[in-house]
Amino acid sequence: MNEMNGHDIEDLRPGQSATFSRTITEADIVLFAGVSGDNNAVHLNDEFARTTAFGGRIAHGMLSASVISAAIANRLPGPGTVYLSQQLKFRAPVRPGDTVHATVEVVSVDLARSRAVLSTTCRVRDQVVIDGEATVMATSSRQRAQAA
C-alpha cells in the first residue's frame, strides 16, 4: 500500500479483489435525479412504477453502478486511481433500500502504462445486478520515485 492507503500499479496482481457496499436510499435516488437530471418516473413515481414491468420503483442504473466507482476509489486500486473506461451490463433492478455490493477484481496489469483492467460486479443479496469491465490508471511508486 502507498501513503494514501491505495495500491500502486506495482502492487497489483491478477486475482486481487475488493468489495465496497452501499445501501441505496430514497435520498440517494432523489439527489441523483436532481444532480443528473434523470427524472424518469420509474425512479420517482411509485404509482407509475407499479404499472411497469418492474412492479415498483427502481434506482437509476448509473446510481447503482456508481458503487463500482467507490470500490475502485476506496478499495482497489484505491486513492489516486483514474477511471479510463467502464463497460456495463444491467442484469436486474436495484430497489430503494437494497444494499449493492460492488466487487472489483484485477484481470490484467500493464506496468509500463500504469493501467489495470478490472472485472466489475454488483450484487444485491446473491443476485448479480450489474457486471462489466473497467480500465483504470493507477498510481505508481516508480513514477513518484522518478519525480522526486
pLDDT of the residue at 146: 87
Task: Give the total residue count for the chain.
Answer: 148
pTM of the predicted structure, to 2 decimals: 0.95
State the DSSP H helix or E strand holding residue 34, giving kind and residue range, or none if neither.
helix 26-36
| CA separation, residue 12 to residues 81, 108, 113 (Å) | 12, 9, 13
Q: Hey, how many other C-beta atoms are within 10 angstroms of the C-beta on 90?
A: 15
Of 64, 62, 54, 46, which is closest to residue 124 (Cα–Cα)? 64
- The per-residue pLDDT string of the chain (148 residues; one tens digit each, 9 = 90 and over) reads 778 778 999 999 999 999 999 999 999 999 999 999 999 999 999 999 999 999 999 999 999 999 999 999 999 999 999 999 999 999 999 999 999 999 999 999 999 999 999 999 999 999 999 999 999 999 999 988 888 8
29 vs 70: CA distance, rounded Å = 17
pLDDT of the residue at 144: 84
